[in-house]
């Protein structure tokens, strides 16, 4: 099929490359000339494992092309996806839909023949209705069907998620789109990926509801971690104990410094605002947003306490800056609030991240960057593990300690155990685990 993807950011580029890999002819459109020029030269603007090779292979095969010229790309397409950004709007937290609506108007002016227009961007309930209205108003003669097809991609595992999805949600109001969208995703039938057809508004809400639920799971286990610290329980065993219940599941139950990234923060906030607009307040989601924001700041205080209550003039090493491993995304990363809290208390910061340093430089000021974890530790008074990159899971703790002036190690991802850290000479602090007790995860006795 001939597919055009409006927007060549994270969602648009990953989706476009994967569709091309399925055998479709895909054109990615973006108004940013510098980005398109870079993509034509094989330069990928984001870090996502496997994406560079996927784009290169399909571009060489002629199935994936890039352009800034929207009109011909839309005119020749059978399906046009809208994959532009929907950031939180300043002032009220609503999703900023200006890019979506601008794309809808541009599509309306360029479309020829029967075309399915698909919102791939994360958008609030009712956005498809407005996209349809804009297209009808701009071009009354347009033969267009508007569909919602939200993405469910995890940064760091996006290609795997796209090709082996848990589900494919397609929201439509016109049955003519059903066959077209089935053809778009036909290559996934071999993987038996469930194709779920719903109403358009339902599909829009599924995306937000899913992200909000996962954000609540993260926030719940973080609050349990605080309780564990005060009662002497082990949050990892608690998480395992409840996660073995099939009704709960084990995923998203890793205690840490709070969630961040491009989805959970803005989507939970947008869902809260939607609930308010429809006079259906979402109290659990509201609490999740508030608790998560507080937690990030609290991590800074936790580090200061671990270092004796005063960090003025001290050098603190930060291991990991991105909101999660295997991405360079710094949007709403916990490290931002943590570094700010430490700097406000007078600390000097030195950091390393395997992929996120260039992005970090755009949002964090006045910190020194090292070339690796051992460079971070050199002369530091304290060390903080913020992001659980694989590169930080097997560090030589004795070598780290020998390079430092101080002995504080704060592990915000529970990567290490207290016994091994103390054996290397550290004063060790983790999340939700009792001090001095065996911090290994409990085992299940054989029956």
Active site residues: 263
**Cα–Cα distance, 269 to 88 (Å, whole number):** 8
236 to 413, 427, 444: CA distances (angstroms):
11, 20, 14
Contact between residue 384 and residue 427 where contact means Cβ atoms under 8 Å apart: no
Sheet holding 368-369, edge to edge: 368-369, 348-352, 315-319, 382-385, 408-411, 427-429
**Cα–Cα distance, 184 to 104 (Å, whole number):** 20
With residue 315 as reference, give the H or E element that holds it. strand 315-319
> Which residues, 6+ apart, have CB-to-CB distance to 168 below 8 Å?
149, 185, 188, 193, 194, 195, 196
**Three-state secondary-structure class, residue 263:** coil
Tokens of 436: 């001095």
Contact between residue 240 and residue 441 where contact means Cβ atoms under 8 Å apart: yes
List the alpha helices (DSSP H) in 45-142. Answer: 51-60, 70-75, 98-110, 127-138
Give the number of other CB atoms < 10 A from CB of residue 23: 13
**Cα–Cα distance, 319 to 406 (Å, whole number):** 16
Burial class from Cβ neighbours inside 10 Å (0-12, 13-18, 19+) for residue 80 reads buried
**Cα–Cα distance, 246 to 249 (Å, whole number):** 5
Nearest by Cα to 3 from 33, 31, 38, 29: 29
**Cα–Cα distance, 349 to 287 (Å, whole number):** 31
Contact between residue 347 and residue 303 where contact means Cβ atoms under 8 Å apart: no
Q: Calculate the CA dihedral of residues 256, 261, 263, 268 and round it to 10 degrees.
A: 50
**The residue to which tokens 């075309």 are assigned:** 115
Nearest by Cα to 372 from 400, 349, 348: 400
């Amino acid at each position: 099929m001939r597919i055009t993807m409006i927007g060549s950011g994270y969602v648009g580029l990953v989706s476009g490359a994967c569709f091309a890999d399925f055998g479709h002819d895909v054109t990615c459109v973006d108004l940013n000339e510098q980005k398109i020029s870079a993509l034509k030269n094989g330069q990928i603007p984001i870090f996502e494992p496997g994406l560079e090779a996927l784009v290169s292979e399909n571009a060489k095969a002629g199935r994936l092309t890039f352009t800034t010229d929207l009109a011909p790309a839309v005119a020749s397409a059978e399906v046009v996806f809208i994959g532009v950004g929907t950031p939180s709007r300043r002032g009220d937290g609503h999703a900023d839909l200006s890019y979506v609506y601008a794309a809808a108007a541009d599509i309306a002016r360029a479309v020829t023949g029967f075309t399915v227009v698909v919102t791939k961007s994360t958008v609030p309930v009712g956005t498809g209705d407005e996209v349809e209205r804009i297209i009808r108003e701009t071009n009354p003669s347009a033969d267009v069907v508007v569909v919602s097809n939200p993405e469910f991609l995890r940064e760091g595992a996006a290609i795997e998620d796209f090709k082996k999805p848990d589900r494919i949600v397609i929201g439509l109001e016109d049955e003519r789109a059903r066959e077209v969208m089935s053809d778009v995703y036909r290559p996934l039938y071999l993987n038996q990926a469930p194709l779920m057809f719903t109403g358009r508004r339902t599909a829009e809400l599924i995306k937000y509801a899913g992200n909000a639920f996962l954000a609540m799971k993260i926030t719940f286990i973080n609050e349990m971690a605080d309780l564990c610290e005060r009662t002497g329980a082990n949050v990892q065993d608690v998480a395992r104990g409840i996660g073995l219940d099939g009704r709960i599941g084990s995923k998203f139950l890793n205690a840490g410094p709070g969630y961040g990234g491009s989805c959970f923060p803005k989507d939970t906030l947008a869902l809260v605002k939607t609930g308010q607009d429809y006079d259906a307040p979402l109290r659990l989601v509201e609490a999740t947003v508030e608790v998560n924001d507080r937690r990030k700041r609290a991590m800074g205080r936790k580090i200061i306490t671990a270092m004796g209550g005063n960090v003025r003039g001290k050098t603190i090493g930060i291991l990991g800056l991105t909101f999660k491993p295997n991405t360079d995304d710094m949007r709403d990363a916990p490290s931002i609030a943590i570094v700010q809290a430490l700097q406000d208390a007078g600390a000097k910061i030195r950091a390393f991240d395997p992929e996120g340093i260039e992005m970090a430089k755009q949002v964090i000021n006045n910190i020194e960057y090292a070339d690796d974890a051992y460079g971070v530790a050199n002369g530091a008074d304290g060390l903080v593990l913020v992001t659980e990159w694989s590169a930080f899971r097997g560090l030589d703790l004795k070598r780290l300690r020998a390079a430092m002036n101080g002995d504080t190690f704060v592990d915000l991802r529970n990567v290490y155990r207290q016994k091994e850290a103390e054996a290397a000479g550290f004063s060790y602090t983790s999340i939700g685990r009792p001090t001095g007790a065996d911090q290994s995860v409990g085992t299940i006795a054989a029956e």
